[in-house]
């Protein structure tokens, strides 16, 4: 009788462990994506702020300013692969618009195979001084 209970517990454990692991990995991926999204938003804000401050003071040429803003974005974005950040900067009428997109790599392969590769998007609009 004791042997049957042990076998039953082993079967129940075997059936519940994959579900619990997927749940734990899902929570970890959700936390990582929130941290990466906040970091990408901060990077977009800092890059747009740099361009907005230096747009009208003569130190911000079109190519040099975009390169410097991209460097600021790369230095500010923590927890994201900066080589995969797509950078779109536009300035018109004293308005600076910066949009960033970056693919998110989940820990759990089930999430990517089920939902595809999630994209993180951040955009900021600022008025130049």
Q: List, for residues 27-84, the tens digit of each pLDDT value.
A: 998 899 999 999 999 999 999 999 888 887 777 766 778 888 899 999 998 888 888 9
Residues 6+ apart with CB under 8 A from 48: 69, 96, 97, 98, 124, 125, 126
Per-residue pLDDT of 80-119, as tens digits, reads: 888 899 999 888 888 999 999 999 888 887 777 887 888 9
Residue-range definition of the domain harbouring residue 65 = 2-127
In this predicted structure, the answer to whether residue 1 has a pLDDT above a threshold of 60 is: no
Counted domains in the chain: 1
Counting Cα atoms < 13 Å in the Cβ hemisphere of 54 gives: 17
Predicted local confidence at residue 97, as pLDDT: 93
Give the per-residue pLDDT at 34: 93
Q: What is the pLDDT of residue 38?
A: 95
pLDDT value for 48? 92
Three-state DSSP at 116 gives coil
């Amino acid at each position: 009788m004791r042997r049957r209970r042990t076998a039953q517990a082993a079967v129940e454990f075997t059936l519940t462990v994959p579900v619990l692991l997927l749940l734990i990995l899902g929570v970890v991926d959700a936390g990582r994506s929130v941290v990466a999204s906040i970091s990408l938003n901060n990077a977009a804000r800092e890059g747009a702020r740099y361009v907005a401050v230096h747009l009208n003071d003569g130190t911000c040429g079109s190519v040099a300013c975009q390169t410097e803003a991209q460097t600021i974005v790369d230095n500010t974005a923590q927890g994201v692969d900066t080589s995969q950040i797509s950078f779109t900067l536009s300035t018109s009428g004293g308005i600076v618009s910066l949009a960033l997109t970056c693919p998110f790599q989940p820990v759990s392969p089930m999430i990517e195979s089920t939902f595809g590769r999630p994209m993180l998007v951040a955009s900021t609009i600022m008025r130049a001084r």
